[in-house]
Chain A
Amino acid sequence: MTKSNILQSGLTRRALLATGAATLATPMFSRRAFAAPTELTMLAWYGHAEPDIVAEFEAENNVKFVPKYYTGGDNMLGLISQSPVGTFDVILSDAEYVQALQQAGYVEELTASDYEIDDYYPEFQNFPGNWSDGKLFSLVTRFGFLGVAYNTDALTEAEASTYNVFWDEKLKGKVGHFDWHLPNLGQISQLNGNANPYDIDAAAWQAVKDKTMSLRPQIGGFFDYGGTFSSLNDGQMLAFAGIGDWITGVLEKNGAKVRSAIPEEGGLQWSECFSIGKGSAKAELAKKWIQYITSAKGQAKSAQMAAYPALIPNQKGWDVLNVENPAEAKRQGMTKDAGNVIEMIRAGRIKNRQWPVQQSLEEWNDFWSEYKGS
């Protein structure tokens, strides 16, 4: 009885495991089995390889994107440096990191004539960081503004029109930080009246630090991407520094009472650029993808990305968007009307987010962790 029993039950269990595994894995294998598309790897922020963006391209080119989503620029650099060369075919990077990518030799040179750069607004044709010594290494594909994100039940638009609102007594413990020093300190620097928030001398830097420290008692937490979403959504935080429409736009669509405002002190601009990874075996396909996503059609898609909406630099993309989804075009300010986002940039209200010029990145970062810990 005993031995056979053990064997039997052993077999059953083994069989069970195997069948379980097989059943669970079937959809995956079967899907792969009949299509067998080329796999294209993408290193990007969350959302860039989701079906709403890539499905059409995938179908047209029999491609399957394999994304690795990172949680920040440094995380991205870490992932590249710790993976074998050629792991990532397409790399999406925030503009300030592009130079680091290029200097580290992580990206291939692009041929400018391959892309419809002429359709871009002039401000974006020679976008800082995309070019190095006259060579093109990446192409800006979308951007957005950072200002004051606020809960519309708690604050009026007028109240949110200045960074000073973060110090408002009624927001005590209800102000959140997107946990990255660059946008937050840049905004404080703007509040302090620095024309270029990132190019400040020692005295101005000290002033920024002091001003930031005075905000600490108001702060309810330091959040990553996901945490920012949920804490704004459920009213856990009523105002947020360091973010913009890329977060509140998504929440708004879901019915949350949140919005972003560009305050009178000015806003910051984030920009995302596509590059081709060094040593990519599918560089041709990667190029095709960048052509697609920077074309008018791809740009319109990109503007409405489900994960987070963004502004687009391609003028023809604006046209497509205004036909496809005029409401969204209007909401984001990408219409030909006066006061649209390009005019805001031209009026000098928006500054590029970038690395500090007169201090080292380390210094800003060290201050940020001290601030968090205080």
Chain B
Amino acid sequence: MQSEPLVTFNGVIKKFGAFVAVQKLDLEIHKGEFLAIMGSSGCGKTTTLRMLAGLDAPTEGEIRLSGKPINDLPTWQRDTPMVWQSLALFPFLNVIENVEFALKMRGVGAKERRTRAENWLERMQISEFATRNIAQLSGGQRQRVALARSLVVEPEILLLDEPLSALDAHLKVRMQSVLQGLQRELGITFVYVTHSQSEAFSMADRVVIMSKGIVEQVGTAQEIYRAPKTRFVAEFLGSSNIFSGKSDGNGMLATPVGKFRLPQDGTSPQKGRSTTMVVLDTRSHLSVEEPGSEFDFVHAKIIGEEFTGATATIYLEAEDGSELRVQKDHDTLAALPIDVGQPLYVSWRPNETHLVSDA
């Protein structure tokens, strides 16, 4: 789904004193897409969002919105409404007054303001709370007010800064579908900052993963999940087994826990070069017996088990102390002796591995 970029970050750098929050960011955000920016705290994702909103000014580089540079435009002239992590609802205004706020600031007449705000309350299914105090609303209701407040000006783009982080798990999922539905319906661009994989992967068309101010990978959920490009991404997603070692120049990787075949994708690293190879936990297998030659394997001991619904994840420790994980359905696991301390083989097909950069 390619269309002309709505937002362009052109070599954007943001420094706070000596600290570099965002390093040379180049990024295009398309019209009508749901883009998630993901990373752990301090990675620069929120700063990126705030620069787009006009709340922080880039130190270097240029940001364009619909083709026009907006670096010097203050936030109140930008039409880039944001939904805040804290929601930042005005506690001294009631629900409908909160929603009307942006219209009032734009000089919309009282009558029209009221009608448009009421429309949005209805749309968000919170009409009955119109005259309620913010303090009297539940978390989910507040979320809807915050959305309505930002969307009432009918912007082309909506910025969301971890809006769901304060909700409980059940409500989170519901709000996710509300957000997704809303984005489809309105057809506008959502830029969604989060530290949660499940939020990003379940809602976004494209995901940007950032670390220490640098974009590590951009792609669809599938692309990133299946093929993390960098070691950081792999570690961050936490769903892969990672093996680091040196290439022998003949398609083999020498690691402290054994020699493995490198993937045959034509980019075989030269001899002696440090190389990192990953394999997804869902593509890894467990066995009591040594697997066949079509597999590479590691000898490891079980250290723990975690249920994740239909599947379970087994955590193991290799001989050098590095951690491994394997995700299997319960039927498969039932056939295995799953006890802490139990030695097992962790194996995978070499063609299901791939290399990541070490940056």
Chains A and B touch each other in the complex, with CB atoms below 8 Å apart: yes
Q: Which residues of chain B from 74 to 132 have any CB-CB distance to chain A below 8 Å in the complex?
A: 91-94, 97, 131-132
Give bound CA distance, A2 to B132, whole Å: 8
A227 to chain B, nearest CB (A): 53
- Chain A residues contacting B134 (CB-CB under 8 Å) are 2
Q: Does A3 contact B (CB under 8 A)?
A: yes
Given contacts A1-B131, A1-B133, contact A6 B92 (CB under 8 A): yes
Give bound CA distance, A3 to B133, whole Å: 9
B105 to chain A, nearest CB (A): 15
- 7 A-B residue pairs with Cβ-Cβ distance under 8 Å, sorted by A, are A1-B94, A1-B133, A2-B91, A2-B92, A2-B133, A3-B93, A3-B97
Q: Interface code A1-40, partner B: CB below 8 Å = 1, 0 otherwise? A: 1110010000000000000000000000000000000000
Q: Which residue of B lies closest to A6 (CB)?
A: B92
Which residues does A use to contact B, with CB under 8 Å? Answer: 1-3, 6
Question: For chains A and B in complex, what number of residue pairs have CB atoms within 8 angstroms?
Answer: 15
Give bound CA distance, A3 to B131, whole Å: 10
- Chain A residues contacting B93 (CB-CB under 8 Å) are 2-3
Give bound CA distance, A6 to B94, whole Å: 12
Which residues does B use to contact A, with CB under 8 Å? Answer: 91-94, 97, 131-134
- Chain A residues contacting B94 (CB-CB under 8 Å) are 1-3
- Chain B residues contacting A2 (CB-CB under 8 Å) are 91-94, 133-134
Q: Which residue of A lies closest to B91 (CB)?
A: A2
Highest count of chain B CB atoms <10 Å: which of A1, A2, A3: A2
Give bound CA distance, A2 to B89, whole Å: 13
Give bound CA distance, A3 to B101, whole Å: 13
Q: Which residue of A lies closest to B92 (CB)?
A: A2
Give bound CA distance, A2 to B98, whole Å: 11
Give bound CA distance, A6 to B131, whole Å: 14
Q: Which residue of B lies closest to A3 (CB)?
A: B93
Give bound CA distance, A61 to B269, whole Å: 114
- Chain B residues contacting A1 (CB-CB under 8 Å) are 94, 131-133
- Chain A residues contacting B97 (CB-CB under 8 Å) are 3
Q: Which residue of A lies closest to B134 (CB)?
A: A2
B100 to chain A, nearest CB (A): 11
Which 7 A-B pairs have CB atoms at the shortest separation, nearest pair first? Answer: A2-B133, A2-B92, A3-B93, A2-B94, A1-B133, A1-B94, A3-B97
A10 to chain B, nearest CB (A): 11
- Chain A residues contacting B91 (CB-CB under 8 Å) are 2
Q: Which residue of A lies closest to B136 (CB)?
A: A1
Give bound CA distance, A22 to B93, whole Å: 33
A8 to chain B, nearest CB (A): 13
Give bound CA distance, A1 to B93, whole Å: 8
Give bound CA distance, A1 to B92, whole Å: 9
- Chain A residues contacting B92 (CB-CB under 8 Å) are 2-3, 6
Give bound CA distance, A6 to B97, whole Å: 14
A295 to chain B, nearest CB (A): 69
B141 to chain A, nearest CB (A): 16
- Chain A residues contacting B133 (CB-CB under 8 Å) are 1-2
- Chain A residues contacting B131 (CB-CB under 8 Å) are 1
Give bound CA distance, A269 to B131, whole Å: 81
A311 to chain B, nearest CB (A): 70
- Chain B residues contacting A6 (CB-CB under 8 Å) are 92
B344 to chain A, nearest CB (A): 62
| Given A3-B92, A6-B92, 9 additional A-B pairs, CB 8 A | A1-B131, A1-B132, A1-B133, A2-B91, A2-B94, A2-B134, A3-B93, A3-B94, A3-B97
B292 to chain A, nearest CB (A): 71
A11 to chain B, nearest CB (A): 15
B172 to chain A, nearest CB (A): 28
Give bound CA distance, A15 to B32, whole Å: 53
Give bound CA distance, A3 to B97, whole Å: 9
Q: Which residue of A lies closest to B97 (CB)?
A: A3
Give bound CA distance, A67 to B132, whole Å: 59
Q: Which residue of B lies closest to A4 (CB)?
A: B94
Give bound CA distance, A297 to B93, whole Å: 72
Give bound CA distance, A6 to B91, whole Å: 12
B115 to chain A, nearest CB (A): 19
B29 to chain A, nearest CB (A): 36
Give bound CA distance, A1 to B132, whole Å: 7
B135 to chain A, nearest CB (A): 9
- Chain A residues contacting B132 (CB-CB under 8 Å) are 1
Give bound CA distance, A6 to B134, whole Å: 14
Give bound CA distance, A2 to B91, whole Å: 8
Give bound CA distance, A82 to B93, whole Å: 53
Give bound CA distance, A72 to B92, whole Å: 56
A308 to chain B, nearest CB (A): 60
Give bound CA distance, A1 to B137, whole Å: 14
A7 to chain B, nearest CB (A): 10
Give bound CA distance, A1 to B91, whole Å: 11
Give bound CA distance, A1 to B97, whole Å: 10
Give bound CA distance, A2 to B92, whole Å: 6
- Chain B residues contacting A3 (CB-CB under 8 Å) are 92-94, 97
Give bound CA distance, A3 to B132, whole Å: 11
Give bound CA distance, A224 to B133, whole Å: 60
Give bound CA distance, A6 to B132, whole Å: 14
B236 to chain A, nearest CB (A): 42
A13 to chain B, nearest CB (A): 16
Give bound CA distance, A6 to B93, whole Å: 10
A298 to chain B, nearest CB (A): 65
Give bound CA distance, A1 to B134, whole Å: 10
A6 to chain B, nearest CB (A): 6
A4 to chain B, nearest CB (A): 9
Q: Which residue of A lies closest to B135 (CB)?
A: A2
Give bound CA distance, A2 to B97, whole Å: 10
Give bound CA distance, A3 to B94, whole Å: 7
Give bound CA distance, A1 to B136, whole Å: 11
Q: Which residue of A lies closest to B133 (CB)?
A: A2
B121 to chain A, nearest CB (A): 16
Give bound CA distance, A2 to B133, whole Å: 6
Give bound CA distance, A1 to B129, whole Å: 11
Give bound CA distance, A2 to B134, whole Å: 9
A66 to chain B, nearest CB (A): 47
B184 to chain A, nearest CB (A): 34
A9 to chain B, nearest CB (A): 12
A12 to chain B, nearest CB (A): 17
B126 to chain A, nearest CB (A): 16
B79 to chain A, nearest CB (A): 25
